[in-house]
Structure 1
Amino acid sequence: MKLHINTPLIESLSVGKGLNGKVWLKLENCQPCGSFKARGVGYACHQHVINGAKKLVTSSGGNAGLAVAYAGRVLNIPVTVVVPTTTKISAINLIKEQGAEVVIKGDAWDEAHQYGLQLTEKDGGYIHPFDDPLLWEGHSTLIDEVIETGIKPDAVVLSVGGGGLLSGIVKGLRKNKLFDVPVIAVETDGASSLAASMNAGKLVSVSQIMSVASSLGAKKVSQHAFELTNTHPIYSHIVTDKQAIKACSQFLNEHRYLVEPACGASLAAVYDSRVILKEKSNILIVVCGGVGINTEQLKEWSRSLGV
C-alpha cells in the first residue's frame, strides 16, 4: 500500500534564470500531508503495521509528526505524536485534525524523542523523523519517479535537517546507477549541523538552533547522513534566513506555492546561481514543502528580516 502520491515534476524558467541548464522542480509540497515526509514516513508506518504494530508513536512537532498522523488515519491505526513545548499551536491542531493524540513533553525535540521511545510498547512501532533505513527507502522513490519521466539529473539540490531526505536521495541515485551525481546539501546559517560535522571531519552537534527554518533544526544529523559525505559527492551550502525567506516570497509570486523557510533554503541556493550549478544540464530541486508557514507568518518574517 502506497501512502504517498507521485508528485509533479515541472521545469522552472524563473528559478533557473542565470543558469545554462534546465531547472526541474519536484513538487513534494503537493503530497497529502504537505511535505516529502509522506514518502519515507508512509513507507515506515506501513511496514510497522505489516509486522504487527497496533499503534504508532513519533516525536515531531512538524512535518514528520503530521505525516505519521496522516499515515495512521489512512491505515486506521492509533497514533501518538510527542511534541516539545516550543511547537506552534497551529501544528498541534493539524496533527489532531488527522485524529492523532498529541503529548507535549520537553523543551526540545531530543526530550520529546526520548519520551516517545518510552511510550512505545512491545506491540507498537516508533517512527523516527529522519534516522531510519525505512525512511530512506521511502524517500528514494522520489528519484525513481524522476527517472521514469526520462530525465536524468546531473545535480540535485535539497535541504538538510536531520539528514533523512539526503540519505533517501543518495539511496535513490545509487539505485538508479547515478553514483557521480552531486548533491548540494543546503542549510540555513544557525541550523547548519551537517556543515559543522563536515568542517570538523566527524559527527558533531551544534550548541543551539538560531534560524527561522525550524524544520532544519536538528542539532546533529544522523551518523548515516554524515558518512555519506565521505562516499558520495555532497557539497555543503549555507544560506541566510533572509535569503530563505526572500526565496519563499519569490517562489510564491512565480509559482503560486507557499513553502516554509526550510524549503526556501534550497530555492535560495539556486536563485543565487551557485557556481557549481553553472555548467549542469538538468538540475533537480526537491521542493520539500512544509506546513510550518502561512501568509501572515511569511509577511512577519519578511518584515523582521528586511526582505
Structure 2
Amino acid sequence: MTPDYPTLIDAATWAFIRTTDAAYPPDTATLSIAEQRAIYDRMCSAFHRGYPAGVTATDRTFGGVPCRHYPGAKATVVYFHGGGFVVGGLHSHDDICAEIRATTGFHVVSVDYRLCPEHPHPAAFDDAVAATGAIAAELPAPLILAGDSAGGNLAAATAQAVGRNQALGIAGQILIYPGLGGNRNAGSYLTHAQAPMLTRDDVLFYARTRHAGAEPPPDPSFAPLSDSDFSGLPPTLAIAAECDPLADDAHAYAAALRAAGGKARSVTETGLVHGYLRARATVPRAAASFARITAAITAFAAGDWPFEDAS
C-alpha cells in the first residue's frame, strides 16, 4: 500500500520539500555527476544558515584527509556528511556542524572523504578511518562519531573497524537516517520506494556508483549490517525518518547491537523525510530531532545513557 504522504507529512515539511525540489529536482540522480554536484552545491548554499556567534572554523588535514575543524573544548565530534558518497563536502554540512559546535561546546571535525565514482569503495571508508585515528590522537577524548545518510554508514563502519570497547576514546555514535546495507527488496525500501526526497531507485543508483558497477560480497566496511559481530560497539542512537526507504536500517542496526549486549536506541522521526537536517530551522519536527541529536552527543560524551533502557 502506498503511504498517505499528504497525511503523514505536515505542512511545514511539505514546504521544505517544495523548496528543496525547486533547488534539487527529484530527477537529479539521472544527470551527470558534474551536474549533480553543481545542483547540490547550489542547494546547500541556498539553505546555509551561517555560523552561530562565537563559532569559527579552520580547514586542515587529519591523517592526510581534508577536514574542517570547529574548535571547542572537552570532547570531540567527528562528523561525516551525507550525499550518497557522490555529492557533498565541507561546504554541504558546514552550518550543521557549526550548530553542533555551538550547542555542545565540543570540538567538531567534518571529514571531507573522497567521493565516487572517481574514488570507489573503500576510498571513503579508508579516509574515515584515517581521519578518525588522527583526530583521536590530537583532540580531546571522548570522541563521538556522527553522520547522516552516507555519513551514517561511514560512522557505523568506522566504529566497527576501530571503535570497539572504547578504542580511540570513541564513546558513542549518532546515525541520522543512515543507509547501512539493509535488504533493498523488503520493508521500508518497498513501502517508501517513492518517498519524497529519496526514492529506492536513488538508493540503487548510489550503491552502483559507489562500486563502479557490481557490488562485492557482504562487507561490513560497505554495509555495516552485514557484519557478523556487533559486540563492543559504542552506545548508539540510530534515527530513522519515517518517510524514507532507508528507515528500517536504523532499527535493524540498533537491534543488532542490543542482541550483542550493547546499548542502542532507534527512533523514528514521525512524518520526516530524508535530508530533514536542512529543515531544522523551519520545521518543528526537524528542530526537535536536531535537539535530540545534540542532547545525545552531550550525554554520550559524559558517559551517560540518556534513555530509560537500551531499546
Q: Would you call these one fold, judging by a TM-score over 0.5? A: no
Q: TM-score range by the shorter chain?
A: 0.3 to 0.5
TM-score using structure 2 length: 0.38
Q: Which has the higher contact order (CA 8 A, sep 6+)?
A: 1
